[in-house]
Structure 1
Amino acid sequence: METSTFVYDGDCAFCTSCAEFIERRIPTAARVVPWQFADLEALGLTVAECEEAVQWVGADGSRAAGPDAIAKLLAASGPLWRIAGAGLRIPPVRVAAWPLYRWVARNRHRLPGGTAACSLPQEARERLYGPTGRPTTGA
């Protein structure tokens, strides 16, 4: 793998909004890709891991999840963002970041840009909306 990869939930509108912010505002050489379009096997990731949290797979094969993945992404970005990434790695901040991350993940459907589909596991989303994300008509 030549490039680091940041993997997020592309079926979640809140997550997609965050990924679009990253692509617009955070200069990084990392690929930012929804897990639904990523080669998870090549990245060494599972669907369960990707449903649980954002994932970072470094060009060197290093891995991180949740706020640790965000810290890695920021560390691989421009100078000001690297400072924020370093801040996320400070032990007390890192310890506090996980409960906050889990709260956001559980409530992402209530956050700006979120939709009801954001709160469902992938299996339920596919059952309701199909693999394309459009509501199924029931046959």
Structure 2
Amino acid sequence: MCTRSRDLLERLNRTGDVRLEPLQKADVVDRLSTALGRRLSQDELMASIWWLGDDGRVCAAAEAAAVAAAVATGVPVPRWLYRVPGAGPLSETAYRWVAANRGRFPGTTPYCEREPANC
């Protein structure tokens, strides 16, 4: 599920403004932790996708997906939809359910198996 979602975002990245990195890459947890001002645990890191903006803004899960989709496509709609009253919490609930059940969804070869040099 994670790799398939990553690959979709890569295809949507028409602006070239989204840099996709595996969470397993050595310096990713350090950069996210520095931006957050606290150390992320391995469990926190792997629980969801993360967005680290050029401005230092960090978000995770459904919000990170909405921001990444908006930046990648150059269309702000996903970000706007996330901000509609009630939509953010509903999106987060759906994201957590999908994340908890991601092993049940069809997937593809995990990115770090496919591209070990990048991990």
TM over 0.5: yes
Aligned equivalents of 1:96 and 1:16: distance in 2? 23
Q: Secondary structure at the match of 2:20?
A: strand
Tell me by how many angstroms 1:38 deviates: 4.9
- For residue 61 of structure 2, the aligned residue among 41, 58, 66 is 66
Alignment correspondent of 1:86: 80
Question: Which portions of structure 1, spanning 4 or more consecutive aligned residues, are displaced by more than 6 angstroms?
Answer: none
Structure number with greater CO (CA < 8 Å, separation at least 6) is 2
Q: Secondary structure at the match of 2:89?
A: helix
Give the aligned residue type for 1:29: D
Alignment correspondent of 1:7: none
Tell me by how many angstroms 1:96 deviates: 0.5
Q: For structure 2, list consecutive stretches of 5 or more residues without a partner in the other structure.
A: 34-38, 114-119
Q: Secondary structure at the match of 1:35?
A: coil
- For residue 110 of structure 1, the aligned residue among 83, 104, 107 is 104
Give the aligned residue type for 1:36: Q
2:92 is the counterpart of 1:98: yes
Alignment correspondent of 2:9: 22
Aligned equivalents of 1:38 and 1:29: distance in 2? 22
1:30-55 CA distance string (max 9 Å, x none): 21111001512123263232212111
The structure in which a higher percent of residues are strand is 1
RMSD, matched Cα: 2.3
2:23 is the counterpart of 1:35: yes
Preserved contact between residue 71 and residue 89 of structure 1 (Cα < 8 Å): no
TM-score by length of 1: 0.65
Q: Secondary structure at the match of 2:72?
A: coil
Cα distance, 1:20–1:38 mapped onto 2, change above 3 Å: farther
1:39-83 CA distance string (max 9 Å, x none): 121232632322121111111111101001112212313244x21
Q: Give percent identity, aligned residues only.
A: 31
Preserved contact between residue 48 and residue 99 of structure 2 (Cα < 8 Å): yes
Aligned residue pairs total: 104
Preserved contact between residue 55 and residue 66 of structure 1 (Cα < 8 Å): yes
